[in-house]
Amino acid sequence: MKRRSKILGADSFLYKECFIQHMLIRKAKKVDIESIHKLDRESTRYHKKFDADFYTISEKWWKIKKDSQLKAIKSPTNLVLVAELDEKVVGYIWGYVETIMKNKIGKIQELIVTSKQRGKGIGKELIKRMLDFFKERECVISEIEVFVENLPTIQVYEKAGFKKREYKMQLKLNKTTKFRPFF
Protein backbone atom coordinates (compact mmCIF):
# COMPACT_ATOMS: atom_id res chain seq x y z
CA MET A 1 0.00 0.00 0.00
CA LYS A 2 1.38 3.41 -1.00
CA ARG A 3 0.24 6.61 0.58
CA ARG A 4 1.48 10.10 -0.26
CA SER A 5 1.86 12.63 2.50
CA LYS A 6 3.53 15.94 3.26
CA ILE A 7 6.01 16.00 6.12
CA LEU A 8 8.33 18.92 6.78
CA GLY A 9 7.67 20.14 3.25
CA ALA A 10 9.34 17.11 1.62
CA ASP A 11 7.52 14.61 -0.56
CA SER A 12 7.40 11.29 1.25
CA PHE A 13 5.64 8.01 1.01
CA LEU A 14 4.98 5.15 3.35
CA TYR A 15 5.58 1.62 2.07
CA LYS A 16 5.51 -1.48 4.26
CA GLU A 17 5.99 0.76 7.30
CA CYS A 18 9.27 2.05 5.86
CA PHE A 19 9.62 5.78 5.67
CA ILE A 20 11.54 7.01 2.63
CA GLN A 21 12.34 10.69 2.20
CA HIS A 22 13.11 12.32 -1.11
CA MET A 23 16.30 14.26 -1.05
CA LEU A 24 16.64 17.77 -2.35
CA ILE A 25 19.77 18.77 -4.22
CA ARG A 26 20.27 22.47 -4.69
CA LYS A 27 22.93 25.14 -5.11
CA ALA A 28 24.60 25.99 -1.83
CA LYS A 29 23.92 29.35 -0.24
CA LYS A 30 25.94 31.39 2.20
CA VAL A 31 23.72 30.14 5.05
CA ASP A 32 24.83 26.54 4.30
CA ILE A 33 28.49 27.21 5.10
CA GLU A 34 28.29 25.98 8.71
CA SER A 35 26.64 22.72 7.62
CA ILE A 36 29.29 22.29 4.93
CA HIS A 37 32.00 23.03 7.49
CA LYS A 38 30.56 20.36 9.82
CA LEU A 39 30.71 17.80 6.97
CA ASP A 40 34.32 18.83 6.26
CA ARG A 41 35.29 18.19 9.87
CA GLU A 42 33.59 14.79 9.83
CA SER A 43 35.42 13.93 6.62
CA THR A 44 38.74 14.96 8.15
CA ARG A 45 38.20 12.57 11.07
CA TYR A 46 37.46 9.79 8.55
CA HIS A 47 40.53 10.57 6.42
CA LYS A 48 42.93 10.63 9.38
CA LYS A 49 43.04 6.83 9.19
CA PHE A 50 44.75 7.20 5.80
CA ASP A 51 47.27 9.86 6.89
CA ALA A 52 47.03 11.32 10.41
CA ASP A 53 49.85 13.83 9.90
CA PHE A 54 48.44 15.18 6.65
CA TYR A 55 45.00 15.63 8.20
CA THR A 56 46.19 17.51 11.27
CA ILE A 57 44.48 20.79 10.48
CA SER A 58 44.78 24.16 12.20
CA GLU A 59 41.90 26.51 12.96
CA LYS A 60 43.60 29.10 10.73
CA TRP A 61 43.35 26.68 7.77
CA TRP A 62 39.67 25.95 8.51
CA LYS A 63 38.98 29.68 8.22
CA ILE A 64 40.86 29.82 4.89
CA LYS A 65 38.86 26.85 3.59
CA LYS A 66 35.56 28.36 4.70
CA ASP A 67 36.46 31.63 2.93
CA SER A 68 37.36 29.67 -0.23
CA GLN A 69 34.02 27.87 -0.14
CA LEU A 70 32.13 31.14 0.26
CA LYS A 71 33.95 32.50 -2.82
CA ALA A 72 33.15 29.27 -4.71
CA ILE A 73 29.45 29.61 -3.91
CA LYS A 74 29.48 33.03 -5.66
CA SER A 75 31.77 32.09 -8.57
CA PRO A 76 30.41 31.36 -12.09
CA THR A 77 33.20 28.79 -12.72
CA ASN A 78 32.54 26.92 -9.46
CA LEU A 79 29.51 24.99 -8.33
CA VAL A 80 28.75 23.95 -4.78
CA LEU A 81 25.70 21.75 -4.36
CA VAL A 82 24.17 20.47 -1.14
CA ALA A 83 21.96 17.44 -0.57
CA GLU A 84 19.19 17.83 2.00
CA LEU A 85 17.05 15.31 3.84
CA ASP A 86 14.42 16.63 6.26
CA GLU A 87 15.77 20.15 5.64
CA LYS A 88 19.21 19.12 6.95
CA VAL A 89 22.36 19.22 4.80
CA VAL A 90 23.68 15.63 4.63
CA GLY A 91 26.17 15.99 1.78
CA TYR A 92 27.83 18.38 -0.59
CA ILE A 93 29.95 18.50 -3.71
CA TRP A 94 32.23 21.29 -4.87
CA GLY A 95 33.56 21.46 -8.41
CA TYR A 96 35.10 23.99 -10.72
CA VAL A 97 36.13 24.42 -14.34
CA GLU A 98 39.80 24.84 -15.18
CA THR A 99 41.23 25.53 -18.63
CA ILE A 100 44.49 23.80 -19.54
CA MET A 101 45.90 24.40 -23.03
CA LYS A 102 42.49 25.42 -24.40
CA ASN A 103 40.78 22.35 -22.89
CA LYS A 104 38.20 22.76 -20.17
CA ILE A 105 38.50 20.27 -17.32
CA GLY A 106 35.82 19.74 -14.69
CA LYS A 107 37.54 19.25 -11.34
CA ILE A 108 35.72 17.82 -8.37
CA GLN A 109 37.28 19.46 -5.33
CA GLU A 110 35.17 17.80 -2.63
CA LEU A 111 32.45 15.21 -2.28
CA ILE A 112 31.30 14.51 1.24
CA VAL A 113 28.25 12.65 2.49
CA THR A 114 27.72 12.26 6.21
CA SER A 115 28.54 8.74 7.38
CA LYS A 116 24.95 8.10 8.49
CA GLN A 117 23.68 8.62 4.93
CA ARG A 118 26.35 6.84 2.87
CA GLY A 119 25.31 4.03 0.56
CA LYS A 120 21.93 5.61 -0.18
CA GLY A 121 22.74 7.14 -3.58
CA ILE A 122 23.35 10.69 -2.36
CA GLY A 123 26.95 10.79 -3.58
CA LYS A 124 25.90 9.30 -6.91
CA GLU A 125 23.27 12.00 -7.44
CA LEU A 126 25.63 14.80 -6.41
CA ILE A 127 28.23 13.51 -8.91
CA LYS A 128 25.60 13.29 -11.66
CA ARG A 129 24.55 16.91 -11.11
CA MET A 130 28.17 18.09 -11.05
CA LEU A 131 28.93 16.25 -14.29
CA ASP A 132 25.89 17.96 -15.86
CA PHE A 133 27.40 21.32 -14.81
CA PHE A 134 30.72 20.37 -16.44
CA LYS A 135 29.00 19.21 -19.65
CA GLU A 136 27.03 22.48 -19.86
CA ARG A 137 30.37 24.31 -19.72
CA GLU A 138 31.80 22.08 -22.48
CA CYS A 139 34.43 20.37 -20.33
CA VAL A 140 36.37 17.65 -22.12
CA ILE A 141 37.00 15.52 -19.03
CA SER A 142 36.34 15.49 -15.29
CA GLU A 143 38.94 14.67 -12.65
CA ILE A 144 39.01 13.83 -8.96
CA GLU A 145 41.79 12.90 -6.54
CA VAL A 146 41.08 10.22 -3.93
CA PHE A 147 43.24 8.25 -1.51
CA VAL A 148 44.04 4.79 -2.91
CA GLU A 149 43.03 3.26 0.44
CA ASN A 150 39.59 4.88 0.29
CA LEU A 151 37.96 1.98 -1.54
CA PRO A 152 34.30 2.88 -0.86
CA THR A 153 34.78 6.31 -2.44
CA ILE A 154 36.73 4.88 -5.37
CA GLN A 155 33.83 2.51 -6.03
CA VAL A 156 31.35 5.41 -6.03
CA TYR A 157 33.41 7.21 -8.68
CA GLU A 158 33.90 4.06 -10.75
CA LYS A 159 30.14 3.46 -10.75
CA ALA A 160 29.78 7.02 -12.09
CA GLY A 161 32.13 6.12 -14.97
CA PHE A 162 35.48 7.40 -13.69
CA LYS A 163 38.54 5.31 -14.55
CA LYS A 164 41.84 5.07 -12.72
CA ARG A 165 44.34 6.81 -14.95
CA GLU A 166 47.43 7.67 -12.96
CA TYR A 167 48.78 7.49 -9.46
CA LYS A 168 50.08 10.40 -7.45
CA MET A 169 52.92 8.98 -5.37
CA GLN A 170 54.79 10.37 -2.38
CA LEU A 171 58.03 9.43 -0.69
CA LYS A 172 58.72 10.74 2.80
CA LEU A 173 62.28 12.06 2.69
CA ASN A 174 62.52 13.43 6.21
CA LYS A 175 61.30 10.90 8.78
CA THR A 176 61.28 13.41 11.65
CA THR A 177 59.37 16.27 10.01
CA LYS A 178 55.63 15.76 9.63
CA PHE A 179 53.99 16.87 6.39
CA ARG A 180 51.14 19.12 7.49
CA PRO A 181 50.09 21.38 4.63
CA PHE A 182 46.94 22.53 6.47
CA PHE A 183 48.65 23.86 9.56
Q: Provide the mean pLDDT of the chain.
A: 84
pLDDT at 123: 95
Strand partners, 92: 82, 112
pTM of the model: 0.80
Over residues 41-61, the mean pLDDT reads 78
Greater model confidence, 177 or 126: 126
Is the pLDDT confidence value at 12 over 60?
no
Is a pLDDT exceeding 80 seen at residue 166?
yes
- 70 or 50, higher pLDDT: 70
Residue 1: pLDDT over 50:
no
pLDDT in tens, 116-133: 999 999 999 999 999 999
Among 12-21, 46-55, 135-144, 164-173, where is mean pLDDT lowest? 12-21
Phi, psi of 101 (to 5 degrees): 50, 55
Query: Are residues 142 and 134 in contact, defined by beta-carbon separation less than 8 angstroms?
Result: yes
Predicted confidence (pLDDT) at residue 53 exceeds the cutoff of 80: no
Reported as a pLDDT band with limits 50, 70 and 90, residue 55 is low
Query: Closest by alpha carbon to 38, among 79, 107, 85, 88?
Result: 88
For residue 20, what pLDDT is reported?
46
Mean pLDDT of 65-92: 94
**Structural domains present in the chain:** 23-159 (3.40.630.30)
Comparing 45 with 134, the larger pLDDT belongs to 134
C-alpha separations of 172 from 56, 81, 148, 176, 177 in Å:
17, 36, 17, 10, 9
pLDDT of residue 101: 94
* CB atoms closer than 10 angstroms to residue 171: 4
Helix runs in 17-111, H state only = 33-47, 59-74
